[in-house]
Chain A
Amino acid sequence: MKLKFAWLVAAGMMTAPALAADSIKIGLSGPFTGGSSSMGVSMRDGVKLAVSEINAAGGVMGRKIELVERDDESKNELGVQIAQELINKESVVATVGFINTGVALASQRFYQEAEIPVFNNVATGSVVTKQFAGADFKANYIFRNAANDTIQSAMIAEEAVKRQGFKKPAILADSSNYGQLGKTDLTAALAKMSITPVATEKFNVGDTDMTAQLLRAKEAGADVILTYAIGPELAQIANGMAKLGWKVPMIGSWTLSMASFIDTAGPNGDGAMMPQTFIQQPTTPKRKAFIEAYQKAYNIDRMPSPVSAAQGYDSIYLLAAAITQAKSTEGRAIREALENLGTKVEGVVTTYDRPFTAADHEAISDNIPVFGLVKGGRVGPAHPEDIEGDKALRIKPKA
């Protein structure tokens, strides 16, 4: 018994400090297979690109960053298992990722309890950063650098009603958490402009026939369709409209930029508009460098999901800046450094100048995203004048 214990201690002493000393472990959780994989894979590739750049430049505090990647397959229960594995077995200092709001909400409580920061770089549900905010919690370990649904739904309503003058919107949302929470946000944003949608329709993920939903919207006299759903079903909406010989503009959440929508809808998807924090165009030197490095590293021309790639890339630079400032890999110190970031971080999406405070864990404010437009299989700017000249770099206003 004593001998066994001694062996265990010896083994523990040999492995644990050795690993901790030579690399900084960062967890990476996202769906790399399945319906959300175009976002997950782009996010992962953006993250890996940033890590390899940082490591090539000498790492953080002289130590290399080591990524621990796990595929959560968009499944809540798998996300929970991964969170426990990354915290207890891999002892990560922070985790980046999460594409699906549901997976984020299910997983991040374990990080909160272990006091390890989580960087949501894609999930958009408004509640994600608010889960542990408020007086009941000493500190909030959840950060985000993606445009949340409150921002996106307000932008969609603004674009449809104010900028383009549509008066009779129809909302089409899927029955998932993402779709239904987005639908609520959208209805609220429209109500602020005293507009009630003429139709609010629902469909299941995996539905292939949208005739009933589209006919209801058409008969209600809709002049624009506002969407909250993901790629394959959005494509069924676009194709269904073409089948019915009815064409009104589609404006919706950022998922209209998913490759699965653009490729499946083909020409029927042209003209769809959605909020984007990043469009694959070299409008700033940093963006140009990022696009070229990404294309070279992964040998592709069109990024499957440019927004996810850019946000994934930026999340690592923000985290690295915080670790450098904290001079520590302890969770509490990293959180405090993030909330009081002293150095400006030049990212792809924006330049982060004190992006977080103790009360505000959202790096992306409502002035940062612009509208993208699908045309010929690619997403370009809907209003090129929005990102011309010095408007290309949009920075979060100081609190």
Chain B
Amino acid sequence: MQILMQLIVSGISVGMIYGVIAFGYQLTFATSKTLNFGQGEALMVGALVGLTTINFLIGQQLGTFWAYCLMLPVVLAFGALQGSVVEWLGVRPAMRVKSESGWIMATIALGIIFKNLAENIWGRDALKFPSPLPEASLSFGGIRIQPMEIVVVLGAIALMLGVEFFNRRTIYGKAVVATSNDRDAAGLMGINTDRIITFSYALSSMSAAFAGVLVAPVTLTGATMGAVLGLKAFAVAIIGGLNSGLGVVIGGLILGITETLTGYYISTGYKDVPGLVLLLIVLSLKPSGLFGKATIKKV
């Protein structure tokens, strides 16, 4: 029982990270029906900018904890900027000519460019990210958790709640929801939908960058860290449903927990298999995802 709980706890902390990145996919899909395939790279660049910032702040005689807190707004701002650039360079031109696939190629290309850029600036080695909290683990009735893992889970929930609150309670958020529901109608009502889409990309990369600095102290930071996470999160987004914020969180947890459970109870060699099988099952039985709403596309 204790082992099962330990595995579930580890699965949750891994799954929450997948969930936050997948949440970013969902944000842009809702407003523009497009995705940023460079989401993993947005996470990686965010984490590396965070690393440089935190090391600079620690160099200014700040404690690691305060340096981490001060670093967060810098990284969030950077993420928002990076997302806007992706939308401006990659997505807007494709949407203007009503291209069905131009944005796919453009966002993948931008992702590769960001990765190469990061390799040139930060090198290709995995770097250690200073942990703001003690690295010794806490024990809850025999189940051991690193303090940073708790922060990962809480931080992910806080980010998603923040975005939900914004969408439901503020006038700007309502514009975002209106654009998601019907872009043409929202445009006719006087909402600047182009700006809303740019904003959703900014928010999406911001959540990816935030996920990057959350996960970095538990793992390592480096130019290649985004590739696997971005792909896993994409699977999560499909399992959970691309138009459901709650769906991607649950999808993330499902994938994270199945991975650790399979690793222990079946074989560590087959750790990644059940997640992919689940992906295939969902795609064949409910293509819109477990929590997604099936929409009829009129042509």
Contact = CB atoms under 8 A, between A and B. Distances in A.
Contacts of A130: none
Contacts of B218: 208
Given A232-B126, A232-B220, A245-B139, A212 B260 contact: yes
Interface residues of A, number: 31
Interface stretch (B2-10, B90-98, B165-173, B275-283): B2-10
Interface stretch (A118-126, A199-207, A278-286, A353-361): A199-207
Interface of A: 33-35, 37-38, 73, 175, 201-204, 206, 208-209, 211-213, 215-216, 219, 232, 235-236, 239, 242-245, 260, 263-264
Contacts of A260: 125-126
B197 interface: no
A263 B6 CA distance: 27
Contacts of B264: 211-212, 215-216
A111 to B, nearest CB: 27
B101 interface: no
B128 interface: yes
A209 B260 contact: yes
A215 B6 contact: yes
Interface of B: 3, 6-7, 10, 14, 119, 123-126, 128, 135-137, 139, 144, 146, 215, 218-220, 224-225, 228, 259-264, 267-269, 271-272
B230 to A, nearest CB: 12
Contacts of B119: 33
Given A206-B224, A260-B125, A263-B128, A215 B268 contact: no
B253 to A, nearest CB: 14
Contact of A34 (B125, B128, B139, B144): B125
A56 B283 CA distance: 68
Contacts of B137: 242-245
Contacts of A216: 263-264, 268
B139 A215 contact: no
Contact of B125 (A37, A204, A208): A37
Contacts of A209: 10, 14, 260
Dominant SS at the A interface? helix
B62 to A, nearest CB: 21
A245 B272 CA distance: 26
Contacts of A263: 128
Contacts of A219: 3
B268 A203 contact: yes
Nearest to A264: B128
Contacts of B7: 211-212, 215
Given A215-B6, A215-B264, A243-B144, A206 B228 contact: yes
A202 B6 contact: no
Output the residue of B128, B144, B263 with the most chain A CB within 10 A.
Answer: B263
Given A203-B271, A212-B261, A212-B271, 20 more contacts: A33-B119, A33-B123, A37-B124, A38-B125, A202-B269, A206-B224, A206-B225, A208-B220, A211-B260, A211-B263, A211-B264, A215-B7, A243-B137, A243-B144, A244-B6, A244-B137, A245-B144, A264-B126, A264-B128, A264-B220
A378 to B, nearest CB: 17
A264 B127 CA distance: 8
Contacts of A33: 119, 123-125
A325 B274 CA distance: 61
A268 B123 CA distance: 26
A37 B222 CA distance: 14
A210 to B, nearest CB: 9
